[in-house]
Structure 1
Amino acid sequence: MERLPVVVAIPTKNEAENIATTVRSVIGHFAHVVVVDSDSTDDTRALAKAEGAEVLPYTWDGGYPKKKQWCLENVHPETDWVFFLDGDETPSPELLAEIRHIFHTPTGRSVRPAAFDIPLGYWFAGRRLRHGYTIVKRVLLDRTRCRFPEPDDLAAPGMGEQEGHYQPLADPVVRLRSPIEHQDMDPVRTWFERHNRYSDWEAWLERHPAVREQIRQAKTRQGRLFHRAPLKPLVSFAYAYGWKRGFLDGRAGLDYALAMSFYRWQIGLKARELAASGGRGAERGPN
């Protein structure tokens, strides 16, 4: 099978539970599969190598570029197209076919879009959600026409080496139909641990409106609208469980809607705490 002229970049840190499945899903389909690892203390690197991936070490220096932009600049730069996958994600067979169709263009004809947005097939608490959410990731990029924003958030806690919750800048962008499957095998407590950190970053942004606006501009249209919404915990629950029919996913749909509402409540509570303390304690936290 002909390999696609695309580099798969998989940023990791302690993804031993998932990484073999992720690498296995793309190896042989793409020109390069590279795991960019941040000092994992488990078997992430060994498992990735065993499946045929290249492994590159990455240590964040505390500034820009952060990890994904570093990948765009340093991971097989001779190949223009980069496909980002998290260490617990796999492209669906339909998505692989869709990407293959894009790059099997007539000789001499280039791919017109600068990037492709791809929907996420989301798993929560061990169940694939069919309703209740809308997650789209801009992860198939022409590195010569895309870059990640560099907002003034290096002093914020919660994100560390990761780019925040915003999209890389690109134009034009086309949305694909088929999903990436996000099937995290870690226990649900890790979801809450991650989102506890993320809420530190989001709360810091609430106290720094100029930076918050920089990030709002790098979000999808839906993200920009939600950025301005009042009563976010209630809006989040109503959107996920009602408007997006999360109730059709049974208990998992209810759990996910409640978890996202709780996440939004955390952000508001932490932002109010920062306001009351004059911003004390908002130092940069761990990754």
Structure 2
Amino acid sequence: MTESSERPRLPIAVVIPTKNEAANITGTVRSVVDHFQAVVVVDSDSTDDTRKLAAAEGAEIVPYVWDGKYPKKKQWCLDHVRTEIPWVLFVDGDEMPSPELLAELRRIFLDGRPVRPAAFDIPLGYWFAGRRLRHGYTIVKRALLDRTRARFPEPDDLDAPGMGEQEGHYQPLADPVVRLKAPLEHMDLDPVRTWFERHNRYSDWEAWLEKNPDVREQIRTAKTRQGQLFHKAPFKPLLSFAYAYVYRRGFLDGRAGFDYALAMSFYRWQIGLKSREPDL
């Protein structure tokens, strides 16, 4: 019997939204399956072996087909997946909880006291081009939710390109929210070109918002404080690079730190360029 199987499992349902995550899904499911009450892969018609590999590691498989309306995928999971378990931890198909995060969750959920927050923000341990970044821009996800006290917003962005079935770059609404200290490791094993492919789509959505300020304002209120401040800032490509590479000392990550800061700056430039493109 392993050490993890001797411990009580965390009263949390891990939900892993996937589409074609065969390169990463085995490690992700293995990292959570012995620690949580349930592990569910919610898959959007993968054409690779995502479902087969996840099931082999002990995950439940739930198929998902988006109907083009709200709720989108994560809110649908809150409404339909293992609803007898109030707490849900969203983990991407290329993410794994660090040992420190598992220990932090055990202190919160297994000490016998009620859990006061409605949600927890979790920092990402971000990997880029094969290297773990220790500095630079810090990404925080509101990934752990009490489904009875949290909900994703439904802005008027269904006509926007770029996101499809996924909720956009905004946080679920909850109160109160507490930030955890330990990271969720975002360990993407896909080639770096897939990062640019994803962010090309994301920039389509962000640029559409720039042309639709009423919807942009709806989403601004669902961002973190840092996101709201950056939302108003001028010269975003230059500011993004200076913040990540200089102020947050991304240069200490060597070439990977420079590449990531430059890639994020390029992403911000894409958004600005696309938002200035005239409608045809």
Q: 1:262 aligned to 2:260? A: no
1:223 to 205, 208, 227: 227
How far apart are residue 178 of structure 1 and its match? 0.3
Which among 119, 124, 144 is matched to residue 120 of structure 1? Answer: 124
- Cα displacement (A) at 1:79: 0.7
Name the residue aligned to 1:103.
109
Q: CA deviation at 1:27?
A: 0.4
Displacement of 1:105 in angstroms is 2.7
Deviation at 1:186, TM superposition (A): 0.2
1:186 is matched with 190
State the 1:4 CA deviation. Answer: 1.2
Picking from 23, 31, 38, the partner of 1:32 is 38
One-letter amino acid of the structure 1 residue matched with residue 126 of structure 2: Y
1:243 to 229, 243, 247: 247
Q: Give matches, 1:133-148, under 5 Å.
A: 133-148=137-152
Alignment-derived partner of residue 284 in structure 1: none
Aligned equivalent of 1:5: 11
AA of the residue aligned to 1:44: T
The amino acid of 2:222's aligned partner reads A
**After the TM superposition, which residues 68-83 of structure 1 pair with which residues of structure 2 at under 5 Å, given as runs?**
68-83=74-89
Amino acid at match of 1:136: V
Letter in 2 for 1:205: L
SS at match of 2:103: helix
Q: What residue in structure 2 maps to residue 60 of structure 1?
A: 66
* Runs of 4 or more above 2 Å deviation: none
1:55-97 Cα distance to aligned partner (Å, 9 max, x none): 0000000000000000000001011000000000000001001
Superimposed CA distance per residue, residues 236-258 of structure 1 (whole angstroms, 9 cap, x where no aligned partner): 01101110001100000000010
| Counterpart code for 1:25 | S
Instruction: Give secondary structure in 2 for the equivalent of 1:214.
Output: helix
Q: Deviations over 1:121-175 (max 9, x none)?
A: 0000000000011111001100000000000000000000000000000000011
Secondary structure at 1:22's aligned position in 2?
A: helix
Q: CA deviation at 1:182?
A: 0.4
Matched, 1:50 2:56: yes
Q: 2:41, 2:168 → 1: CA distance?
A: 20
Please say if 1:253 is aligned against 2:253: no
Within 2, Cα distance between the matches of 1:214 and 1:245?
Answer: 33
| Matched position secondary structure for 1:94 | helix
1:211 aligns with 2:215: yes
| In the alignment, structure 1 residue 272 sits paired with structure 2 residue 276 | yes
SS at match of 1:83: strand
TM superposition score normalised by structure 2: 0.97
Q: Offset of 1:198 from its aligned partner? A: 0.2
What is the aligned residue count? 274
- Which structure 1 residue ranges, 5 or more long, are not aligned? 281-287
Task: Find the residue that maps to 1:268 and give its secondary structure.
Answer: helix
- Cross-structure match for 2:203: 199
